[in-house]
Amino acid sequence: MRLQGKVAVVTGARQGIGQAAALALAGEGADLVLASRNIGTGDAVVRDIQQMGRRVLVRRMDVGRRQEVQQLFADTLETFGRVDVLFNNAGVSLPAMLWKMTEEQWDEVIRVNLTGTFFCLQAAAKPMMEQKSGSIINVTSSAGLLGTIGQVNYTAAKGGVHALTKSAAKELARYNVRVNTIAPMAETEMTRTIATDPRFRDKYLERIPLGRFARPEEIGPAVVFLAAGDSAYITGQTICVDGGMVML
Ligand SMILES: NC(=O)c1ccc[n+]([C@@H]2O[C@H](COP(=O)([O-])OP(=O)(O)OC[C@H]3O[C@@H](n4cnc5c(N)ncnc54)[C@H](OP(=O)(O)O)[C@@H]3O)[C@@H](O)[C@H]2O)c1
């Protein structure tokens, strides 16, 4: 197992890509810290990981609140004594056309997706720098890389994540801490409308060369790859796990 003895923090672990990635990381031997606003110890993802024999810490928190992020990492270090992997995954989308977007929609998406990513990155980096090892995996999007219609808030946030990943990778490389990004495309709560509503579905499928949306479980292996030693010489990169939608 590629992550035996490692400790991985997954934000947005309650459902979707975060849940699938947490299961994939646990499947490779990692102990898990599962965080989101509404996650609970009774959730299936917690039970499934415990049944694999891994240790699990569950924390309800909001990645856009700095004190809650700091508490999450303090609890992680108190429980496990280290943090090896951060899957910096929590995100929200509040779509609206540019001319209709409210300040609240703009602020909330930037707060969670961009500021939340920064808070978690910063909090994870400190113990990783002391350990002289660690892997941080951020989440961007085709919207952040190429632009899209109806989501300037999300595009700005995910474009920011793509950019900050490269600066963080440069700053942290000297401590043997790697920072990469994935750009996924999978059918989840977030993409339910575009994946099911015929008005959007067909347009999206035309843009995906492999011709289908992924299941969230198909994103997990890329997260494991970036978390594990297999990718020891890779930092500052974006891996698109999106059926070929974005070709960098
Ligand atoms: N699905 C796609 O095709 C796609 C494409 C590109 C990028 N992404 C990105 O991939 C990531 C996961 O998306 P998904 O599709 O799995 O979405 P999802 O099914 O909506 O899951 C989002 C997760 O984030 C958590 N979350 C939301 N706001 C939070 C906050 N403020 N603090 C902590 N946790 C929070 C949610 O749990 P709670 O409600 O319990 O907080 C949930 O577990 C996001 O960053 C998204 O932008 C997804």
- For residue 27, the model assigns a pLDDT of 98
- For residue 85, the model assigns a pLDDT of 98
Amino acid at position 205, single letter: L
One-character DSSP codes across 14-61: TSHHHHHHHHHHHHTT-EEEEEESS--TTSHHHHHHHHTT--EEEEE-
Q: Is the CB of 8 under 6 A from ligand 1?
A: no
The Å distance, Cα 98 to ligand 1 centre, comes to 22
Spatial contact of 98 and 152, defined as CB atoms under 8 Å apart: yes
- For residue 121, the model assigns a pLDDT of 98
The Å distance, Cα 190 to ligand 1 centre, comes to 7
Question: Taking every pair of C-alpha atoms in the chain, what is the biggest distance, in angstroms?
Answer: 51
Q: Is the CB of 45 under 6 A from ligand 1?
A: no
Task: Determine the 3-state secondary structure of 140 from DSSP.
Answer: coil
- For residue 7, the model assigns a pLDDT of 98
Superfamily of 7-241 according to CATH? NAD(P)-binding Rossmann-like Domain (3.40.50.720)
pLDDT digits (tens, 9 = 90+) for 38-80: 999 999 999 999 999 999 999 999 999 999 999 999 999 999 9
To the query of whether residue 154 is one of the catalytic residues in this protein, the response is: yes
Segment (H or E) for 106: helix 103-109
pLDDT by 10s per residue, the chain, length 248: 999 999 999 999 999 999 999 999 999 999 999 999 999 999 999 999 999 999 999 999 999 999 999 999 999 999 999 999 999 999 999 999 999 999 999 999 999 999 999 999 999 999 999 999 999 999 999 999 999 999 999 999 999 999 999 999 999 999 999 999 999 999 999 999 999 999 889 999 999 999 999 999 999 999 999 999 999 999 999 999 999 999 98
> Which positions ≥6 away from 106 have C-beta within 8 Å?
152, 153
- For residue 222, the model assigns a pLDDT of 98
Task: Determine the 3-state secondary structure of 8 from DSSP.
Answer: strand
